[in-house]
Amino acid sequence: MFLLKKALSFLLLPPGIIVLVLLVISFLERKKRSTYYISVTSALFLYMLSIEPVKDALLTPLESKYPVPEKFQADAIVVLGGGSYNTGILKEDSMKRLLTALIIHKKTGLPIILSGGAENFPDAEIMKSLLLQLGVDKRDIITEVRSRDTEENALYVQKICQQKNYNRILLVTSAYHLPRAVYSFKKMGMDVIPYPTDFKRDLRYNLYSFLPKISVLNDSVKAIREYFGILALKLPVQLP
């Protein structure tokens, strides 16, 4: 009974309910071949992106590229914002990146550069406020609030490092985002030590791993977006 209850909860909530609706449409419209194939293909595609094994397969090439360094020498810690809500609260990715940087700062005493802007609540300013509340000296915090994407993160942080004479940075961001971030920062000529955090792979599965979940779908979309972002960076002509 417990297993049935859990399965129904996954199937009656998005994306499970959407998969079921698409399958019902394909059954009802099975005589219309185009509608049938579009519905079945859409249902299969949505289901696959919403289960943990597929999500992990998408994330593995990204998250396994850079291991967490055991030892390093750097002049500063750079934290890339991962988004915030209009209420001024950091999103999950931003919070995990910030906590990782805080732990490193407590161990090393390195200054922290917070990079990330937004119209109303810049990620960098929200992160700075939290660090101050957690006891970090304001003299150890530098904020950069103009950047809107990873390339601009690299551009504006590079200018700060030139002014501060920081030659090597410890780049802290989500593991899935690190390959694109490292590429962008190295493109700006910076000496980067990658430091991954916020790992999203499970790698251990059970029955529930094959039930569609909205959180898994969200992580799959993040991985796909990274592949498109990396591709766009490497194109000879920048996309508009």
Nearest to 128 by CA among 119, 110, 146, 140: 140
Q: Note whether residue 118 is domain-resident.
A: yes
* Pair 7, 117 in one domain: no
> Could you tell me which residues come within 8 angstroms of residue 206 by beta carbon, excluding any fewer than 6 positions away?
none
Q: Note whether residue 70 is domain-resident.
A: no
Q: Note whether residue 6 is domain-resident.
A: yes
* CATH number, position 138: 3.40.50.620
| pLDDT the model gives residue 2 | 64
Could you list the pLDDT tens digit for every one of the 240 residues in the chain? Answer: 666 777 777 778 899 999 999 999 999 988 899 999 999 999 999 999 999 999 999 999 999 999 999 999 999 999 999 999 988 899 999 999 999 999 999 999 999 999 998 667 899 999 999 999 999 999 999 999 999 999 999 999 999 999 999 999 999 999 999 999 999 999 999 999 999 999 999 899 998 899 999 999 999 999 999 999 999 988 865 544
Q: Note whether residue 98 is domain-resident.
A: yes
* Pair 102, 175 in one domain: yes
* Pair 85, 157 in one domain: yes
* Pair 16, 44 in one domain: yes
* Pair 50, 87 in one domain: no
Q: Note whether residue 69 is domain-resident.
A: no
| pLDDT the model gives residue 197 | 98
Angle at which helix 178-187 crosses helix 214-234, to 10 degrees, equals 20
Domain span at residue 158? 76-196
* Pair 109, 169 in one domain: yes
Q: Note whether residue 147 is domain-resident.
A: yes
Cis amide linkage into residue 15, ω under 30° from 0: yes
* Pair 218, 164 in one domain: no
| pLDDT the model gives residue 239 | 44
**Domain count of the fold of the chain:** 2
